[in-house]
Amino acid sequence: MPKISSPVYIIGNKPISMTNFLTGIINTILPPRCIKCGKILEEVDGLCSDCFNEVTFVTKPYCSKCGMPFHEEVSGNKMLCGTCVKNKNQHFRMARSSLEYDEVSKPLILSFKFYDRTEYNKVFAKWLKLAGKDIFDAGVDLIIPIPLHYTRLLKRRYNQSALLAKELSKLSGIKTDYGSVVRHKRTKPQVQFSGSARHRNVKDAFSVKRPINIKGKRIILIDDVMTTGSTLSECAKALLSSGALSVDFLTIARVDG
């Protein structure tokens, strides 16, 4: 006899657990929908098959450090891109992203970030867990979402990165720290800048309030999009100077190039 730990209900001829029973009721009232086109889905998954084919997931081959996709054939597992070969002093151990940031993923991420589609976090966190496999395999102690400046948090009412971190924490069993790092500088949105101006905009924007929580920890920093990586790098710099052992970046999407 199999060991059954939760109450079991018999619906038709099928025994189902309490959790599945409640999920069944919720799915009947509020069926899961494709987050892109709104079509009702059979299973909770996030995208219908048509939309799934339109989204570009970041897949191998990519740079083993920064995760930049290689568009030509390369051999071996430990390939580095030109930037990572040249620049040995980057402030991160590995960077990974689920999607390429393009005209398909952009509206999904903008809706999640600015237009209250907070329910996307479940699907996105599932993708983050898959994209971050190399990072999780290498070992992680703490998840930290990139903090917003408090004035922006008041205006926007939620931090999209914190929602992702919370859900990823549930999936991975790794603790999330929401309060040890702060963005003390009120930076302008990075989208207004390019190149080195992006770096100047976020320079010294972050500080660690409670170094004791950071010291000796292997940390994953969570953000929605990685463009040049300036924001993530500045935050990593603050964490490393407070004694973090390593910092990895995990984002829903990345800008290619």
Which residues are at the interface with Zn ion (CB under 5 A)?
34, 36-37, 39, 48, 51, 63, 65-66, 68, 81, 84
Least distance CB 24 / Zn ion (angstroms): 22
Nearer of residues 66 and 125 to Zn ion, judged by Cβ: 66
Nearer of residues 81 and 104 to Zn ion, judged by Cβ: 81
Among 194, 189, 141, 196, residue whose Cα is nearest residue 169: 141
**3 state DSSP class of 204:** coil
**3 state DSSP class of 181:** strand
Sign of CA dihedral 91, 87, 203, 68: negative
Least distance CB 182 / Zn ion (angstroms): 29
Beta bridge partners of 254: 100, 226
| β 218-226/246-254 pair status | parallel
Token representation of residue 224: 């929605």
Nearer of residues 36 and 217 to Zn ion, judged by Cβ: 36
Least distance CB 173 / Zn ion (angstroms): 29
Buried b (16+ CB within 10 A) or exposed e, 148-158: beeeeeeeeee
Least distance CB 93 / Zn ion (angstroms): 12
Nearer of residues 108 and 222 to Zn ion, judged by Cβ: 108
Least distance CB 48 / Zn ion (angstroms): 3
Nearer of residues 120 and 180 to Zn ion, judged by Cβ: 120
